[in-house]
C-alpha cells in the first residue's frame, strides 16, 4: 500500500506491513534495541508517548466491545489510545485502554502531553456533533483536539483553531514550556505531501501555523514530529535520503533557522517504515515504531537504551573513530596468545559506585595488601577475540573505554583508554594460573596470590580492617579517587526519570544493584536515598513526585534483602537546586537537567572507605605516537646519573632480566622512545624485534632487584616500564 493510500485509507497515517518480529535485544556498540513484546500484538501498535510511569500508544486492537468497529476501507478495527505501565522492575506490563472518556467511534491517533501531563493533544477523525464529517473529496480528515485532566478524568475536549475540514492536521507534539505545538499537515503552503508545521501559543489559544521550511520538509511526507525538551526535533520522512520507506531524522534550530537534517542511522532505521520516535529528557531511553521484518504483527513498538546518550553518540559519529590495537602475550614466555576474549565498554557507563561491585570475587594484591576490584562487564559490552598473532584491532569512538582481557587458564586484566589519550596500541601480558599458583603457593582464583583470597577468609577485611578499595588510574587524567565517609554523597547518574515518572527504569537498576552490593559488603552502612527535581512544576507537585521516586528506589533495595531501617527515602523536590534555575528563570534544558538527580547520602558508616582508581600496571601502554613531552636528544644533551650509583650508565650489567619501555609497530616511534631513555642515562638501551614489533629495551640485569631499581628510576622520569617474569 503506497503512502497516500495509507494516509487517506487509514485516516491516521498509520503504516501497514505484513512483517513479524525478529531482533529482540538487537545491539550495536552503543544502542540496545528491544521489541516490546508485552505490548505488541498481531495488530498495529505505534506512535508511543511518555505518560507518568509508562507510555501511551495507538493500537488497532479492540479497546472495548462497544468500540469493536471495523473500518471497511482498511479492514481493521478503529484505532484507540492504550496505556502500558511499567512494573516496579521497570518492564512494561499488559496494556489497557488509556481513558474511556477519550474513546469514540472513530479513529483516535497520535498524541502528546504537556510537561505537567494535565493537558493532552491527540489526533482524531473530524467529528461534528458526534458524527463524522467528510471533506469535499469524500475523505474524513484528521484534526488535533485537546483535553484537560480533571481529577482522574479527561474533559473539556475541543478542537484546535488551526484545524481545517478539507485538510489533515495530525501528530501533535508540544514544546517543554508549552510555547509551540508541532504537527503534520497537508494544508496549503507546504512543499508537498504532509509537512511539519508549528503554531505558537497566543494566550489561551494558538496562532497561525508556520511551515518549518525546505531544510526540514520535502516534496514527500514528513510526519510524526517529536520536539525534545532541548529543542531538538525528531521526525519521520520519506523524502530525505535514507534506508528505505520512512526513516527517522533529527534537526536543530538556531536563531529561528533549521540546519540540515541528520538521519539517525541504524538500528533506528531499516528498509521498512520507522517512525513515531520519542526519547526521554536525558536522551538515553526512548521508543519508536517500525514495521521492519521479523515483527510480532504489523507496526510494532521498540524500546531502546543508548549508552552514554544520543547526543554523545551523534558527536562520536561526527568526529569519527580511532583505530585501537590490543596485543596479548603470555607473561612467562612472551608468546602471543590467540583466541583471547577482548571486551570493552564506555567508562561513562561505569560509575564510581559501580566499581564497588565485584561479582567475580575480591582479589588481594600480595605486595600491598590492597583490595583489588575489577569493573564488571555485562551484555552491553562489545567483544571479539585475538588472532593467531595475539592481536585484536578495533575501531572505537573518542571516549573513555575500559578493555577487559580474559583467556581460560590465565588471570584476566583490565586496561583503560581515555578520550583525550593519544594511545592507539596496548601490549597486555597475561599470567597463567599455574605460574601465579607457583609464586604464591596456592592454586586457582581462590588463592592468596594475585588470583584471589583464601577460601573461608573474609575478602572484605585484611588484619581486621577494611583495606583501601583500589580500582585503577590510567595516567591520562581519569581521576576517580575519593573517600566514602559519613556525609558523603554519591550521585547515581543512571537513576533518572521522565517528567511525571517515578518508576525505576530497567537501566536504572544497575545503579541500585551497585548500592545493594555496597550495603551487603558493609552491613553497618546506613543511607538516605534522595531524589531531586528541577524547578518546573509546583512545589507541592515536585515534593510529591520526588518522594514517590525515592520510595520506589528504596523499595527495590528492601525487596532485595536490605533492612528498611538502613535506608531512608527522601524527596527534596526543587528545594536543593544546584544552580539558579528557579521558578521564572529562563534556563536551558541542560541546566534544568543538572538539578534532576538521585543521590545516596551516607548517614552512618563504621569505618571510612578509601577508593583509589589506579590502573593495572603490570605492563606499560604500548603507544604508536611520539609523546609531546619527549624531545629528540642531541649530542650535547646531558646524561643523567643514577641516584644510587652515581655512574653515568645505569643500562644494566648484561644479565637476563629485561627492562622494557615500550613496544611499537612504528620504528620511528620506537626510536623516539629509545632516544628518551638514552637521554636519562640508559646508554645501552636498544631496539629489538618481538613478534614483528619494535621492542625498546632500556637494559638487562642479572637480578630482579637491580631491574626493579632501574624501572623505578625510569618511572620517576616519566617512562612506563615492564619487566617480564
The residue that leads in pLDDT, 695 or 492, is 695
pLDDT category of residue 315 using cuts at 50, 70 and 90: low
Backbone angles phi, psi at 530, to 5 degrees: -110, 135
User: What value does the mean pLDDT take over residues 605-614?
Assistant: 62
> Is a pLDDT exceeding 50 seen at residue 167?
yes
Q: Is residue 50 part of a domain?
A: yes
Q: Tell me what pLDDT residue 477 has.
A: 31
Assigned C-alpha cell, 376 = 564488571
- Mean pLDDT, the chain, rounded, equals 75
The single residue listed with the C-alpha cell 573513555 is 400
Q: Tell me what pLDDT residue 14 has.
A: 23
Among 265-269, 441-445, 471-475, 542-546, top mean pLDDT goes to: 265-269
Cα–Cα nearest to 557, from 548, 545, 549, 566: 566
Q: Tell me what pLDDT residue 456 has.
A: 27
The least confident of 26-35, 212-221, 645-654 is 645-654
pLDDT category of residue 611 using cuts at 50, 70 and 90: low
Q: Is residue 295 part of a domain?
A: yes
The residue that leads in pLDDT, 87 or 569, is 569
Query: 0.85 exceeded by the pTM?
Result: no
The residue that leads in pLDDT, 650 or 574, is 574
Rounded percentage of the chain residues whose pLDDT exceeds 70: 71
Backbone angles phi, psi at 520, to 5 degrees: -70, -35
**Sheet strands (E) in 221-362:** 222-227, 233-237, 247-251, 253-254, 257-258, 262-263, 274-279, 285-290, 300-306, 321-330, 341-346
> Is a pLDDT exceeding 50 seen at residue 670?
yes
Question: Is the domain of 313 the same as that of 324?
Answer: no
Question: Is the domain of 397 the same as that of 523?
Answer: no
> Is a pLDDT exceeding 60 seen at residue 467?
no
pLDDT category of residue 423 using cuts at 50, 70 and 90: low
Q: Tell me what pLDDT residue 435 has.
A: 60
Backbone angles phi, psi at 540, to 5 degrees: -65, -45
What's the rounded Cα separation, in Å, for the pair 491 and 501? 19
Query: 24 to each of 221, 550, 601, how far by Cα in Å?
Result: 29, 31, 37
Contact 354/515 with Cβ under 8 angstroms?
no
Q: Is residue 663 part of a domain?
A: yes
580 class by beta-carbon count within 10 Å (0-12 exposed, 13-18 middle, 19+ buried): exposed
Q: Tell me what pLDDT residue 638 has.
A: 31
User: What value does the mean pLDDT take over residues 451-464?
Assistant: 28
Q: Is residue 186 part of a domain?
A: no
Contact 262/247 with Cβ under 8 angstroms?
no
Q: Tell me what pLDDT residue 348 has.
A: 52
Question: Is the domain of 470 the same as that of 365?
Answer: yes
User: What value does the mean pLDDT take over residues 358-371?
Assistant: 37
Residue 507 per-residue DSSP state: G
Question: Is the domain of 377 the same as that of 413?
Answer: yes
User: What value does the mean pLDDT take over residues 646-661?
Assistant: 66
User: What value does the mean pLDDT take over residues 42-59?
Assistant: 92
Contact 296/241 with Cβ under 8 angstroms?
no
The least confident of 250-254, 292-296, 400-404, 630-634 is 630-634
Q: Tell me what pLDDT residue 217 has.
A: 96
Residue 460 per-residue DSSP state: T
Q: Which of 580, 596, 613 is the last residue of a domain?
A: 613
Q: Which domain holds residue 67?
A: 3-179+224-230+276-317
Query: 509 to each of 212, 385, 556, how far by Cα in Å?
Result: 40, 30, 8
pLDDT tens digits for 520-578? 878 898 999 888 888 877 778 788 888 888 888 888 899 889 999 999 999 998 888 87
Q: Tell me what pLDDT residue 351 has.
A: 43
Residue 639 per-residue DSSP state: P
Question: Is the domain of 366 the same as that of 469?
Answer: yes
Half-sphere exposure of 204 (CA within 13 A, CB side): 2
Among 58-72, 83-97, 141-155, 328-342, top mean pLDDT goes to: 141-155
Q: Tell me what pLDDT residue 67 has.
A: 80
User: What value does the mean pLDDT take over residues 647-668?
Assistant: 70
pLDDT tens digits for 90-130? 678 899 999 989 988 899 989 999 988 889 999 999 988 77
Question: Is the domain of 56 the same as that of 24?
Answer: yes
pLDDT tens digits for 394-417? 988 777 777 888 899 988 787 777
> Is a pLDDT exceeding 90 seen at residue 24?
no
The least confident of 35-44, 195-204, 345-354, 399-408 is 345-354
pLDDT tens digits for 487-511? 777 766 656 555 556 666 655 666 7
Contact 561/512 with Cβ under 8 angstroms?
no
pLDDT category of residue 366 using cuts at 50, 70 and 90: very low
Assigned C-alpha cell, 429 = 601480558
The residue that leads in pLDDT, 482 or 647, is 482
> Is a pLDDT exceeding 80 seen at residue 677?
yes
Q: Tell me what pLDDT residue 583 has.
A: 82
Could you tell me how far CA 176 lies from the centroid of its own chain? 23
Q: Is residue 724 part of a domain?
A: no
Q: Which of 480, 509, 532 is the last residue of a domain?
A: 480
Question: Is the domain of 304 the same as that of 382?
Answer: no
What's the rounded Cα separation, in Å, for the pair 168 and 170? 6
Domain count, the chain: 4
Q: Tell me what pLDDT residue 567 has.
A: 94
CATH classification at residue 333: 2.60.40.10
Q: Tell me what pLDDT residue 420 has.
A: 60
Question: Is the domain of 20 the same as that of 69?
Answer: yes
The residue that leads in pLDDT, 39 or 71, is 39
Cα–Cα nearest to 41, from 303, 295, 304: 295
pLDDT category of residue 374 using cuts at 50, 70 and 90: low
Q: Tell me what pLDDT residue 503 has.
A: 61
The residue that leads in pLDDT, 396 or 625, is 396
> Is a pLDDT exceeding 90 seen at residue 81?
yes
Q: Tell me what pLDDT residue 210 has.
A: 96
Q: Is residue 414 part of a domain?
A: yes
Q: Tell me what pLDDT residue 693 has.
A: 72
Q: Which of 266, 292, 317 is the last residue of a domain?
A: 317
Question: Is the domain of 158 the same as that of 33?
Answer: yes
Contact 677/718 with Cβ under 8 angstroms?
no
pLDDT tens digits for 579-601? 788 887 888 776 777 787 778 88
Q: Tell me what pLDDT residue 170 has.
A: 96
Rounded percentage of the chain residues whose pLDDT exceeds 90: 29
Residue 103: how many other CB atoms lie within 10 Å: 17
User: What value does the mean pLDDT take over residues 708-719?
Assistant: 84
What's the rounded Cα separation, in Å, for the pair 263 and 418? 28
Question: Is the domain of 609 the same as that of 696?
Answer: no
User: What value does the mean pLDDT take over residues 657-673?
Assistant: 78
Q: Is residue 376 part of a domain?
A: yes
Question: Is the domain of 474 the same as that of 397?
Answer: yes
679-685-690 Cα angle (round to 5): 135
CATH classification at residue 577: 3.30.1330.60
Question: Is the domain of 335 the same as that of 426?
Answer: yes
Assigned C-alpha cell, 277 = 520516535
Contact 216/258 with Cβ under 8 angstroms?
yes
Contact 24/38 with Cβ under 8 angstroms?
no
Q: Is residue 725 part of a domain?
A: no
Q: Name residues whose C-beta falls within 8 Å of residue 197's C-beta, 6 or more positions apart in sequence.
A: 182, 183, 184, 185, 187, 190, 209, 210, 211, 212
Cross-strand pairs, 227: 233
Assigned C-alpha cell, 434 = 599455574
Amino acid at each position: 500500500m503506497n503512502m497516500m493510500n495509507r494516509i487517506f485509507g487509514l485516516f491516521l497515517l498509520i503504516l501497514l506491513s505484513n512483517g513479524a518480529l525478529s531482533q529482540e535485544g538487537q545491539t550495536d556498540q552503543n544502542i540496545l534495541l528491544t521489541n516490546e513484546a508485552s505490548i505488541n500484538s498481531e495488530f498495529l501498535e505505534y506512535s508511543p508517548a511518555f505518560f507518568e510511569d509508562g507510555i501511551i500508544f495507538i493500537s488497532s486492537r479492540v479497546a472495548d466491545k462497544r468500540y469493536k468497529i471495523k473500518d471497511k476501507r482498511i479492514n481493521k478495527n478503529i484505532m484507540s489510545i492504550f496505556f502500558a505501565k511499567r512494573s516496579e522492575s521497570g518492564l512494561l506490563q499488559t496494556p489497557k485502554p488509556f481513558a474511556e472518556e477519550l474513546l469514540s467511534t472513530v479513529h483516535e491517533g497520535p498524541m502528546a502531553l504537556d510537561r505537567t501531563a494535565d493537558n493532552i493533544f491527540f489526533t482524531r477523525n473530524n467529528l461534528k456533533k458526534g458524527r463524522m464529517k467528510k471533506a469535499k473529496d469524500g475523505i474524513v480528515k484528521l484534526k488535533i483536539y485537546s483535553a484537560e485532566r480533571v481529577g482522574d478524568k479527561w474533559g473539556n475536549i475541543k478542537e484546535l483553531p488551526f484545524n481545517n475540514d478539507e485538510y489533515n492536521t495530525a501528530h501533535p507534539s508540544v514544546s517543554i514550556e508549552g510555547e509551540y505545538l508541532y504537527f503534520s499537515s497537508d494544508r496549503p503552503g507546504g512543499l508537498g505531501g504532509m509537512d511539519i508545521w508549528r503554531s505558537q501559543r497566543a494566550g489561551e489559544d494558538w496562532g497561525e501555523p508556520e511551515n518549518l521550511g525546505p531544510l526540514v520538509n520535502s516534496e514527500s511526507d514528513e510526519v510524526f514530529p517529536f520536539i525534545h525538551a532541548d529543542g531538538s526535533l525528531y521526525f519521520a520522512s520519506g523524502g530525505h535520503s535514507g534506508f528505505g520507506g520512512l526513516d527517522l531524522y533529527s534537526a536543530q534550530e538556531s536563531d529561528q533557522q533549521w540546519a540540515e537534517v541528520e538521519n539517525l542511522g541504524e538500528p533506528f532505521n531499516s528498509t521498512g517504515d520507522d517512525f513515531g520516535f520519542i526519547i526521554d529528557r536525558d536522551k538515553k531511553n526512548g521508543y519508536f515504531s517500525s514495521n521492519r521484518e521479523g515483527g510480532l504483527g504489523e507496526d510494532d513498538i521498540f524500546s531502546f537504551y543508548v549508552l552514554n546518550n544520543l547526543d554523545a553518540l551523534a558527536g562520536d559519529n561526527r568526529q569519527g573513530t580511532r583505530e585501537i590495537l590490543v596485543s596479548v602475550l603470555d607473561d612467562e614466555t612472551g608468546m602471543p596468545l590467540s583466541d583471547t576474549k577482548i571486551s570493552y565498554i564506555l567508562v561513562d557507563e561505569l560509575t564510581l559506585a559501580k566499581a564497588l561491585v565485584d561479582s567475580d570475587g575480591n582479589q588481594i594484591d600480595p605486595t600491598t595488601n590492597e583490595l583489588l576490584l575489577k569493573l564488571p562487564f555485562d551484555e552491553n559490552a562489545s567483544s571479539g577475540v585475538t588472532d593467531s598473532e595475539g592481536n585484536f584491532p578495533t575501531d572505537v569512538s573518542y571516549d573513555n573505554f575500559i578493555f577487559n582481557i580474559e583467556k581460560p587458564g590465565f588471570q584476566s586484566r583490565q586496561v583503560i583508554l581515555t578520550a583525550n589519550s593519544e594511545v592507539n596500541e596496548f601490549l597486555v601480558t597475561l599470567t597463567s594460573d599455574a605460574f601465579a599458583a607457583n609464586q604464591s603457593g596456592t592454586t586457582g582464583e581462590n588463592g592468596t596470590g594475585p588470583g584471589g583470597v583464601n577460601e573461608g577468609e573474609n575478602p572484605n577485611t585484611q588484619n581486621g580492617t577494611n583495606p583501601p578499595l583500589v580500582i585503577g588510574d590510567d595516567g591520562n587524567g581519569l581521576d576517580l579517587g575519593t573517600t566514602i565517609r559519613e556525609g558523603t554523597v554519591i550521585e547515581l547518574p543512571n537513576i533518572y526519570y521522565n517528567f511525571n515518572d517515578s518508576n525505576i527504569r530497567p537501566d536504572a537498576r544497575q545503579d541500585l544493584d551497585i548500592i545493594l552490593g555496597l550495603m551487603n559488603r558493609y552491613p553497618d552502612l546506613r543511607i538516605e536515598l534522595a531524589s531531586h527535581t528541577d524547578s518546573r512544576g509546583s512545589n507541592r507537585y515536585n515534593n510529591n513526585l520526588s518522594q514517590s521516586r525515592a520510595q520506589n528506589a528504596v523499595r527495590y533495595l528492601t525487596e532485595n534483602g536490605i533492612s528498611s531501617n538502613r535506608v531512608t527515602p527522601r524527596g527534596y523536590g526543587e528545594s536543593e537546586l544546584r544552580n539558579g534555575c528557579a521558578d521564572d528563570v529562563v534556563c536551558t534544558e541542560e541546566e534544568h537537567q543538572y538539578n534532576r538527580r538521585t543521590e545516596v547520602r551516607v548517614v552512618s558508616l563504621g569505618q571510612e572507605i578509601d577508593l583509589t582508581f589506579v590502573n593495572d600496571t603490570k605492563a606499560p601502554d604500548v603507544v604508536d605516537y611520539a609523546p609531546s613531552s619527549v624531545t629528540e636528544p642531541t649530542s650535547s644533551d646531558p646524561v643523567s646519573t643514577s641516584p644510587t650509583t652515581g655512574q653515568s650508565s645505569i643500562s644494566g650489567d648484561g644479565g637476563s632480566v629485561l627492562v622494557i619501555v615500550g613496544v611499537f609497530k612504528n620504528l620511528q616511534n620506537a626510536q623516539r622512545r629509545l632516544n628518551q631513555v638514552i637521554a636519562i642515562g640508559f646508554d645501552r638501551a636498544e631496539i629489538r624485534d618481538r613478534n614483528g614489533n619494535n621492542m625498546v629495551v632500556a637494559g638487562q640485569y642479572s637480578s630482579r632487584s637491580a631491574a626493579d631499581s632501574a624501572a623505578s628510576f625510569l618511572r620517576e622520569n616519566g617512562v612506563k616500564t615492564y619487566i617480564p617474569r
